[in-house]
Amino acid sequence: MKVPQFIHLLGSPPWFYRISGQLMPVLGLLACALLIVAWVWGLGFAPEDAKQGNSYRIIYLHVPTAVIALAGYYVMAFTGLVYLVWRIQLMALMLKSAALIGAAMTFLALFSGAVWGKPTWGTWWVWDARITSMLILFFLYLGVLGIINAFSGSKTSQQAGVKAASILALVGTVNIPIIYKSVDWWFSLHQPATLKLTGKSNIDGSMLTPLLIAIVGCYVFYAFMLLWRTRIELQSSEHNKQWLRDAVSKK
Amino acid sequence: MINAPMIFSIAAAFKAHVKAESLLRWRHKSDILQPLLFFVLVLSLFPIAINAPSQELARLAPGILWVIVLLASLFSAEHLFRDDLGDGSLSAQLLSVQPLSVYVVAKLSVHVAFVVVPLALASPIMALMLHMPGSGVPVLILSVLIGGVSLSMIAAFGAALTVSVHQRSMLLALITLPLYVPVLIFASSAIQSNIDGTFPTMQLLILMSFALLSAALLPWAISAALKLSVENK
């Protein structure tokens, strides 16, 4: 199969190391700027919610992390696919990083949701469709991490582990929409829709703008973290290579 | 002197696998009883733990029964590929001219016949023990039969991924149980709906589509997982 130029370059660790080194400061500063603007705006200047008062402001953390948690799964599955098809070692490292960051984001979304639920619904946990899907997504991430950890040891074993994790991630990709729809159907049968979180239609523009900035900021932050984690994984897996020594000593 | 033709047809290979696997299962009859015993054991814990009047138990019965079906299918699939990996017959399968998925589908068909069918047949007795209304029983049997196909496929996928790993039970559960969720939802809701008086055509059709989808797609994933498990051994 003819491989696009971009994928070829991704197969070269020195290229990735150089480019990610240049990109990271840009992404890091951009993420900081966007998140500071969004959170200062959202926490300090956006209007108070008529029903929930100030407690709704956790939305500026909750929704972006939830969005990233779901998108991160697809990033992970995509790296897994590229790894299975083209056997690019860098993708194996990126899959590991994506699994870890994704799991952390999912946890953060669940945790902030629970904190939000306490003042709003009067309880830490509700078996609502979105929360349940999120919990299952968290388990899927843990499964991928668990597989990677279980295949520790020799280099061939680790590679087999990443292959296993890639296959699992791909099967999970097919399953996520099915799980999401089933859970949604199940709970719409049992519970009134009033327990749904703030829908897109009923959020005011003055609250929406900082939310959108926070989501974009979170995406940039995710990209930054992904490059950073992958660099660390690269440094530990290629620690005895000459190019890495050269790159580090050049600094 | 074995006079084997060089290339078997896929159908012949499938038949040979089914025959060998059925014979193996039949010679370990205690393994057939194990999931059933597990079913009764776990089931008997619920009335002891909940200590509720029988109508309360009856209300919980579809959910309880299906959670136990999930666990029984999970544990019965754990050792599905272990012996084949250990004695090298899995490596031999990889060298065969037939695709590995023929072996996988044959093995799982036998698994369904020896594990899912007995579970489905035993489920009315279990339903009786939990005082589930009799109107739910036919749908219970149907849902176990249909849903059992997807469950076996998913559990086999988890087992194939983890077969070369030590201490796999927890990992297998972590991989498999989240993927079970859609089947659990539609199966238990099908039973509940029949008890409430509407025949659950929709739920049963969805369960059927899950079964077909998993039977069509997962054998590839299982084969890929088995290949890397052999490499990792």
| pLDDT band, residue B1 (cuts 50/70/90) | very low
User: What is the enclosing helix (H) or strand (E) of A36?
Assistant: helix A13-40
ipTM (interface predicted TM): 0.87
B166 to chain A: which residues are within 8 Å by CB?
150
Residues B14-38 have pLDDT tens digits of 898 999 999 988 998 888 888 899 9
Residue-wise pLDDT tens digits, A33-62: 999 999 999 888 888 777 777 878 888 999
Q: How far apart are CA B90 and CA B83, in angstroms?
A: 9
Residue with tokens 């020799």: A154
Q: Is pLDDT at B48 greater than 60 in this prediction? A: yes
Q: Determine whether the interchain pair B232/A156 forms a contact, defined as Cβ–Cβ distance below 8 Å.
A: yes
**Chain B environment of A187 (Cβ under 8 Å):** none
The answer to whether the CB of A58 falls within 8 A of the CB of A115 is yes
User: What single letter denotes the amino acid at residue B192?
Assistant: Q
Q: For residue range B164-173, what is the model confidence (pLDDT) as tens digits?
A: 888 788 999 9
Region for B21 from its dihedrals, namely left if φ exceeds 0, alpha if ψ lies in -120 to 50, beta otherwise:
alpha
- Tokens 């969805």 belong to B206
Contact A143 B186 (CB under 8 A): no
Burial letters A86-97, b for 16+ CB under 10 A, else e: eebebbbbbbbb
In the numeric block, which tokens belong to residue B97? 């001219």
Compute the count of residue pairs across chains A and B with CB atoms less than 8 Å apart.
76
Determine which of A106, A174, A182 to mutate to test the interface with B (most B C-beta atoms within 10 Å).
A182
Q: Rounded CA gap, B163 and A226, in Å?
A: 30
Q: ∠ CA B9-B12-B17 to the nearest 5 degrees? A: 125
Q: What is the CA radius of gyration of chain A?
A: 20
- In percent, how much of chain B has pLDDT > 90? 56
pLDDT at A11 over 90: no
* Partners of residue A151 in chain B, C-beta under 8 Å: 165, 232
Q: Quote the crossing angle between the two packed helices A59-86 and A13-40, to the nearest 10°.
A: 170
- Which tokens belong to A32? 């900081």
For the cut 80, the answer to whether the pLDDT of residue B66 exceeds it is yes
Q: Check CB contact under 8 Å for A186 and B228.
A: no
- Please check the confidence at residue A240 and state whether its pLDDT lies above 90: no
Tens-place pLDDT, residues A152-206:
878 888 888 999 999 999 999 988 888 888 888 887 765 544 444 544 445 667 7
What is the band of A5 on the pLDDT scale with cuts at 50, 70, 90?
low
pLDDT score of B222 more than 60: yes
Give the CA distances from residue B183 to residues A132, B43, B143, B145, B147, in Å, rounded to whole numbers and listed in that order. 15, 20, 9, 12, 6
Q: Can you give the pLDDT at residue A1?
A: 53
